[in-house]
Amino acid sequence: MAGIMARRILQILPELRSSSILQVKNTQHHLPLCWNSHAVLEQITAPRTSVNQPSLHTKDHLGLWYRLNPEVLKQLYSLGGIPKKYVVQSTTFNETCLMVREPALTVIDLIKRSNLSLPPNKFMLYGRDGAGKSLSLTHILHYLAEDGWLLIHLPVPSQWRRNVKEVVPSSSVPGRFDHPLQAAVWLQHFRSQNSELMKTLQLKTSMTYTWTRRESTEAGSPLMALVEQGINRARFASDSIMALTTEIKKYATDGRCKVAVVVDGINTFYCPDSLYRREDRTIVEPDNFTLFQAFSQLFQSDWKNGVVVGTIDRLVNDAERRESHLPRYLLRRKGWEKLDPFIPIPVNDYNNLEMESAINYYIDRHWLQTVNGSSEQGRKELAALSGCNPLMLMKVCNAL
């Protein structure tokens, strides 16, 4: 049987060599498929860069992939910041890589040139669903951490409007509502991202915070004491965040630190209602959540030594307001006026270079294994089926 199969392969090999399916265009980032003397298909390698520091990325790196080290992943993204579907795919690939794209490079360059003595510059990424807004934000966040910014990172604030299982009335402010467990998780996220930097900054509380008759955080305590209080006592986690953001805003204005507020889906702060209802069945507006109050103050222009970077996501809005992906529509009048002035940064679907790079990366990771899929005709079909949309390309390649 083995001899018969071998003879059959030798018979069809000349036909395969001359087949147009295997004639692939050779470009800068595209290595051709070819057959060697042992009839083995050579591996296409992904266009990578060894420069893993976002601060060193330039336009020469556009379309190239860079690898996130496990230490960076653990520090910055262990509790959120990378889309779940991308995390699953990265686990399958046994590595987490990001493509260097123009929107992220544009924001990084603008941050480098920002005048921190003025109110914070605001950069808002917008685009179609699946175009790569969140992953561009992941790239930017990596740069900010590397450059010594204190991070106020909100990976999924829309869940505070939609997940109503753990909302309780505030014990400190009548009419306000807290998210005890979700607030405690966010404080863990803050600690993971900023613990080493906070040791260097040595920021301390400017006033005494009283939690109960027996519990208080004295003035002059390390600022991380507020974080630990909220983590250990989830009941006070929302109030701890309010105190923490107020203190950080003050220290940034005083020039003690530079603060980056990074929000994925910032338009959720300007949606008119939530899924939580009071006892009388009236809907609680997001402005009545302690977490929304705590972070919204950082979107204002009354402080300095900071930047605000956010994405404007259509899916964050309520179902009846998703007709457009443009900022003015999704932010509504309220969000537009609150964030004004800001710099809109469009995130488009893949261009030809990025499309070739993505397909080569999938081939390199053995995610796209069919010969037809890697051919020139197959690449055209993948572009047509996905519309060159990164998320759609990932879904289309799942079955190949």
Residue 355 phi/psi, 5-degree rounding, is: -65, -45
Contact of 353 with 155, CB cutoff 8 Å: no
321, 322, 328, 331: CA torsion to nearest 10: 60
238, 170 contact by CB (below 8 A):
yes
Q: Distance between CA atoms of 223 and 245, rounded to whole angstroms? A: 10
pLDDT at residue 20 greater than cutoff 70: no
Quick one: pLDDT at residue 370? Answer: 79
Distance separating alpha carbons of residues 55 and 147, to the nearest angstrom: 8
Report the share of the chain in percent with pLDDT over 70: 89
Alpha carbon of residue 224 to chain centroid: 25
Rounded to 5 degrees, φ, ψ at 376 are -65, -40
Cα–Cα dist 139/372, whole Å? 32
- Residue 39 is predicted with a pLDDT of 32
Q: How many residues does the chain have?
A: 400
3-class SS of residue 48 = strand
Model confidence at 177: pLDDT above 60: yes
pLDDT at 396 over 70: yes
| Location of structure tokens 């949309």 | 389
Which domains are delineated in the chain? 21-48+350-397 (no CATH), 108-346 (3.40.50)
Q: What whole-number distance in Å separates Cα of residue 188 and Cα of residue 224?
A: 11
Would you state the pLDDT for residue 32?
38
Q: Is the pLDDT of residue 369 over 90?
A: no
For 238-280, the pLDDT digits (tens) are 999 999 999 999 999 999 999 999 999 999 999 988 888 888 8
pLDDT class of 162 with cuts at 50, 70, 90: confident
Confidence label for 188 from pLDDT (cuts 50, 70 and 90):
very high
User: Is this structure's pTM higher than 0.95?
Assistant: no
Residue 30 pLDDT > 70, yes or no?
no
